[in-house]
Amino acid sequence: MELQNIAVLSCKMKKMMLVMLVLQQVVWTRAMLDPLDFLALQSIRKSLYDMPGSEFFKSWDFSSDPCGFSGVLCDSQGQGKRVVALNLGNASAGSPGLRGKLDGGVGCLGALVELTLVPGQVVGTIPETMGQLKELQFVGISKNFLSGRIPPCLGSLTKLQTLDLSFNQFVGSIPLGIGQLPTLSNLILCHNKLTGPIPTFMSSLRRLDLKHNGLSGTLPESLPHSLQYVSLAKNLLSGSIHGVSELQQLSYLDLSYNHFSGNIPGELFSLPLTSLFLQRNSFTGPVVPQGQVTIPNVDLSYNFLTGPISPFLAYVHNLHLHNNNFIWSKSFKIH
């Protein structure tokens, strides 16, 4: 009888040990990073290096869990973990950045939602494989030395909300597909060498910053009414700006240093703007605001504007009207 009880107890212990092993395996499986993500991070690491003074990659020891690496954020998905955010470089102010190239392996991080690269000396082009990142919502790759064309594949990232490629050396035109992205809110491509026209935007765009490029042509026939910030300064743009006066949410507008012409719409001065910069263009005719102008900063200098200066401009805090053909009246006073 005793032997029988021992046998039963032994059987129960084996079952318990088996259950524990199964549970341990489940926990281990769920804790593991997806193999494709693991290999992608290895490829990225091989093509990027710390600049002198940076220790960003110090924690990137692939004998440990990559989800604990600096700049890597993982999330449990299905049977394992996936990388959902990759922030390359130490984001602290004044910290040295990275050098090298952005490897195409980044396109294998299929669950990636956010990709950023701190200012540094990264060169080369944007990998075409980034078009595979269908979950991507935020791209911030600014202040490096990336060059070549902006790949059209970025126009297939239908969940993208912010695209910041500013302060690089990109050339060519802005891919038309970027203008068709349905959720794009912020497009920041300033300080590059882009040419060609501004595409038509179909999204609820709030910020459009394309200054310091070589863009040409006229403004799109229709601009998103959701726009709050528009900076197109220092390009080669021309034509009328009448469509801008329809942007009822606009708080900042800089169209300076272009070749815009025609009249300045009076409705423009009624928008909820904090800054209006139209200097160094070819605007003509009188300036006729529809009412008292409350915009704090207005610069209309270096144009071909004529006629008397409207008294509605008298309360503008920073007003620049010089180098035009205005008829100055002794009665006009800035309050």
pTM for the whole thing?
Answer: 0.89
Q: What is the DSSP letter of 14?
A: H
Contact 126, 98 (CB under 8 A): no
Give 228-240 pLDDT, tens digit per residue.
999 999 999 999 9
Distance CA 216, CA 111 (A): 37
Average pLDDT, the chain: 90
Say if residue 217's pLDDT is above 70.
Answer: yes
pLDDT tens digit string along 157-197? 999 999 999 999 999 999 999 999 999 999 999 999 999 99
Cβ–Cβ under 8 Å, residues 57 and 66:
no
Is the pLDDT reported for residue 19 higher than 60? Answer: no
**HSE of 229 in the Cβ direction (CA atoms, 13 Å)?**
10
Give the start-to-end residue ranges of the domains of the chain.
32-111, 218-335
Q: Domain 218-335 is of which CATH architecture?
A: Alpha-Beta Horseshoe (3.80)
Radius of gyration of the chain measured on its C-alpha atoms = 28
Q: 254: which strand partners? A: 231, 277
What DSSP letter does each residue of 177-225 carry, written as one string? HHHT-TT--EEE--SSEEEEPPPP--S---EEE--SSEEEEPPPS---T
Q: Encoding tokens for residue 237?
A: 């743009």
Phi/psi at 206 (5° precision): -110, -35
Q: Would you say domain 32-111 falls under CATH 3.80.10.10?
A: yes
At 77, the pLDDT band (50, 70, 90 cuts) reads confident
Topology alike, domains 32-111 and 218-335: yes
> What's the residue count for the chain?
335
pLDDT at 332: 59
Q: Which token pair is 331?
A: 């009665």
pLDDT at 9: 37
pLDDT score, position 254: 98
- Average confidence (pLDDT) over 198-220: 96
Q: Quickly tell me which residue has 């272009």 as its tokens.
A: 258
